[in-house]
Chains A and B, each alone.
Chain A
Amino acid sequence: MPIKSESTLRVVLYEGDGAAPLDDSFAAMTALLERGYAVTRTTSGGSVAPQTRGSLLVLGKFSDGRAPLAESATADVSVRFHDIAGQDAAGITALVEKERDTTGAAKHGEWKPWFPVIDYDRCTNCMQCLSFCLFGVYGVDDESRIQVQNNDNCKTNCPACSRVCPEAAIMFPKYKAGPINGDLVSSADLQREKMKIDISALLGGDVYSMLRARSEKAQSRFSKERDEGKALAERQKCLVKLAAAGDIPAEVLMSLPSPEEIARRAEEAKAKAAAALAAQRTP
């Protein structure tokens, strides 16, 4: 199931009226965050964002030792209460995990949230990213504006599309260095982008053609020599160069589909980009 379709469980650590302060809210909060939950701490003062959808689990040390009866604020929100007096962080986490199972809410941590984020202040809608990506991460909206549509299709730790963007408009917030990590774009970065850090150019031609050629060469060798090890070594040698040029994880390159499938997907992506560009030009 795409992650966009999954419901989530939000936990509230309640320390407001009618409840005592928690003994160690930091430990409880840390344990829950490490399990991937969103946690709201409410007190008598201050306010937090309201909940409009999904399941809400309210935990507290309630004054009469009993949790209040659950009442949904709206039809779209399911609310449950639990008294956690005497529970440590591990006990609270176990309780929340059990509740998550009951509600069928998403289990976190099975996917590393790695995907491109577009800086629309910089993006010129040139569609190079759409044309480049083989994995269907990008698409266009109703107004032919580029957007990230399938975040979970992105290949973990691969920032390759950000390197084909001529405007440095593609960020990966978990990347190590700027401006890809979201740091401000410097003049020096722009100069580099103007030179178009194009991994295909670095490798002396279209990247997919290069991969195809290398793979065919490796396959040919394999068929002649019947030596799977040599074919693999050849492919690895080629991919090491590509990985270094674009900071693309070797495992991403090694898991690329067959040359035929690469060609098919590349054509499909280019066609989508061309259609979007044509739609932009249509008044």
Chain B
Amino acid sequence: MPKILYCHCQYAQVVPKDVKETVLRKLCESGVAFDAVADLCEMAARRDPALAQLSASGEVKIAACFPRAVKGLFHQCGADLAADKTEVLNMRTLRAEEVVARLAAEDLRVNIPMKGGTIAE
């Protein structure tokens, strides 16, 4: 199973509170092991080595915000995410049920943008 990282986006109100709460609650109830961070932005600003450990540890699902932003945050931290091993679940736009379902799924739907792939259709 891919590792799971959950971001609580503590220092802004851009992720709907009910989505964050539902996702976190379901993760806690599921019995799976996971990492939760108060705020991915803050960790990136700190250049926290935990992000490098996570990005280097194989497949990962990240419940946070826009994949383009998450990719940039990890890069800023010197911890590039592997495009073929990362699925980012955007809690700003997805429903909680969708995020929870993807976190629970065994497969990985990689989706961080590649070079030249940042233009919306």
Contacts of A47 in B (CB 8 A): 3, 33, 57
**Complex contacts, B94 vs chain A, CB 8 Å:** none
Q: Flag the segment in A26-34, A220-228, A260-268, A270-278 that touches B.
A: A26-34
Q: With A26-B28, A115-B41, A173-B66 known to touch, is A48 a contact of B35 (CB < 8 Å)?
A: yes
Question: Within 8 Å CB of A217, what residues of B?
Answer: none
Interchain nearest-CB distance for A167 vs B (Å): 10
Say which residue of B29, B32, B73 sits within 8 Å of A26 (CB atoms): B29
Residues on B with beta carbons closer than 8 Å to the beta carbon of A33:
8, 10, 24, 36-38
Contact B53 A121 (CB under 8 A): no
Residues of B within 8 A of A45 (CB): 31-33
Interface membership of B75, Cβ < 8 A: yes
Q: Which A residues touch B4, using CB under 8 A?
A: 46
Please measure, in the bound complex, the distance between the C-alpha atom of A50 and the C-alpha atom of B71, giving whole angstroms: 20
Q: Are B118 and A3 in contact (CB under 8 A)?
A: no
Residues in B neighbouring A111, C-beta threshold 8 A: 42
Q: For the complex, what is the distance from the CA of A182 to the CA of B117, rounded to whole Å? A: 13
Which of the residues B35, B38, B117 comes within 8 Å of A49, measured between beta carbons? Answer: B35
Cα of A117 to Cα of B68 in the assembled complex, Å: 10
Residue pair A184, B113 in contact (C-beta under 8 Å):
yes
Q: In this assembly, does A17 line the interface, its C-beta being within 8 Å of a C-beta of chain B?
A: no
Are B68 and A182 neighbours in the complex by a CB distance under 8 Å?
Answer: yes
Interface size on A, residues (CB 8 A): 62
Is the beta-carbon distance between A4 and B46 smaller than 8 angstroms? yes
Which among A4, A46, A181 is the interface contact of B33 at CB below 8 angstroms? A46
Cβ-based interface call for A186 (8 A): yes
- Cross-chain contact A36 with B10 (CB below 8 angstroms): yes
Beta-carbon contacts of B88-121 to A below 8 Å, as 1s and 0s? 0000100000000000000000000111111110
A113 to chain B, nearest CB (A): 4
* Closest Cβ–Cβ distance, residue A191 to chain B (whole Å): 12
B49 at the interface (CB under 8 A from A): yes
Q: Tell me, yes or no, whether A236 is within 8 Å of chain B by CB.
A: no
The CB with the most chain A CB atoms within 10 A, among B9, B36, B49, B115, is that of B36
- Beyond the given pairs A4-B47, A47-B57, A51-B53, 12 more chain A to chain B contacts, judged by CB atoms under 8 angstroms and listed by A's residue number, are A34-B8, A45-B32, A46-B4, A49-B3, A114-B41, A115-B45, A173-B70, A178-B66, A181-B14, A182-B69, A184-B68, A187-B120
Closest 4 CB pairs of A and B: A182-B69, A182-B66, A46-B33, A184-B120
